[in-house]
Amino acid sequence: MKATTEIDPQLVKQLREKTNAGMMDCKRALIESGGDLEKAETILRTKGVAAAGRKAARVTKEGIVAAYIHLQGKVGVLVEVNCETDFVARNENFREFVKDITLHIAAAEPQYVSRADVPANRIEAEREIYKAQAKGKPENVVEKMVEGKLDKFYSTVCLLEQGFIKNPDETIGDLLKAKIAELGENIVIRRFVRYLVGEPLPSEG
């Protein structure tokens, strides 16, 4: 108990502002880290990832559909984000997260939610392009180059792998895991659509 009282409340407040974790979680992390703010943040993020992993299999039948219109009506976004309970769906924190996702989609133009959503023929086409670019190099070098370019491709087109527009050092996937840990429920970005005035329709492509 003595160790708890020795933690500076300002440090707890600062850690909470950086991570959005609960006060007691912040205090415990600071105690565990010996009062080191950076180590405490790492502890919280590590535990958050583990918690998110444990919750990933939970059913998400609640949530909201949110809309965002940008540039005087030139860009529009619709996104469905699911959670486990109506209680969390109505939570202001959850809704703020969903709003951030719509803003990000409007700005960053992702095409898919995750790697699993990218069509196999598109991946194969990208592979062939990268192989052609690496032609003449040893086979093991070619494979590494292709995989590296594919990772870059995914980070460009997949929402969960894009750097968050408000903090490019954090991916949307990282943001999602942190929010799962914070709210204590599984959260899934299920689908989205982004409209740009004047863009070609698939049938016109």
Instruction: Tell me the domains of the chain and their CATH numbers.
Output: 2-55 (1.10.8.10), 62-115+158-204 (3.30.479.20), 119-148 (no CATH)
C-alpha closest to that of 196 among 136, 129, 107, 113:
107
127-136 — which CB contacts under 8 Å span 24+ positions? none
Q: How confident is the model at residue 1 (pLDDT cuts 50, 70, 90)?
A: very low
Q: What is the pLDDT of residue 205?
A: 53
Would you tell me the crossing angle of helices 37-55 and 172-183 to the nearest 10 degrees? Answer: 80
- The helix or strand, by DSSP H or E, that contains position 196, with its residue range, turns out to be strand 188-196
Higher pLDDT, residue 31 or 26: 31
Q: How confident is the model at residue 3 (pLDDT cuts 50, 70, 90)?
A: very low
Identity (one letter) of the amino acid at 181?
A
Token pair, residue 115, equals 């790697």
**Given a cut of 90, is residue 197 above it in pLDDT?**
yes
The answer to whether residues 160 and 154 touch, using CB atoms and an 8 Å cutoff, is no
**Given a cut of 70, is residue 53 above it in pLDDT?**
no
**Given a cut of 70, is residue 174 above it in pLDDT?**
yes
Mean pLDDT of the chain: 87
> Structure pTM?
0.72
Q: Which residues, in sequence order, are CB contacts of 112 under 8 Å at separation 6+?
A: 118, 157, 158, 159
Q: How confident is the model at residue 50 (pLDDT cuts 50, 70, 90)?
A: low
Q: What is the mean pLDDT of residues 132-161?
A: 92
pLDDT over 90 for what percent of the chain? 56
Q: What is the pLDDT of residue 122?
A: 96
Which stretches within the chain are classed as H helix?
2-5, 9-19, 23-32, 37-55, 86-89, 92-108, 120-133, 139-157, 172-183
Could you identify the residue written with the tokens 């003449």? Answer: 136
The answer to whether residues 19 and 41 touch, using CB atoms and an 8 Å cutoff, is yes
Q: What is the pLDDT of residue 4?
A: 40
The answer to whether residues 26 and 15 touch, using CB atoms and an 8 Å cutoff, is yes
Higher pLDDT, residue 134 or 103: 103
- Residue 36 has phi, psi (to 5 degrees) of -85, 115
Q: Is 83 helix (H, G, I), strand (E, B) or coil?
A: strand
**Given a cut of 50, is residue 5 above it in pLDDT?**
no
Q: What is the mean pLDDT of residues 129-136?
A: 90
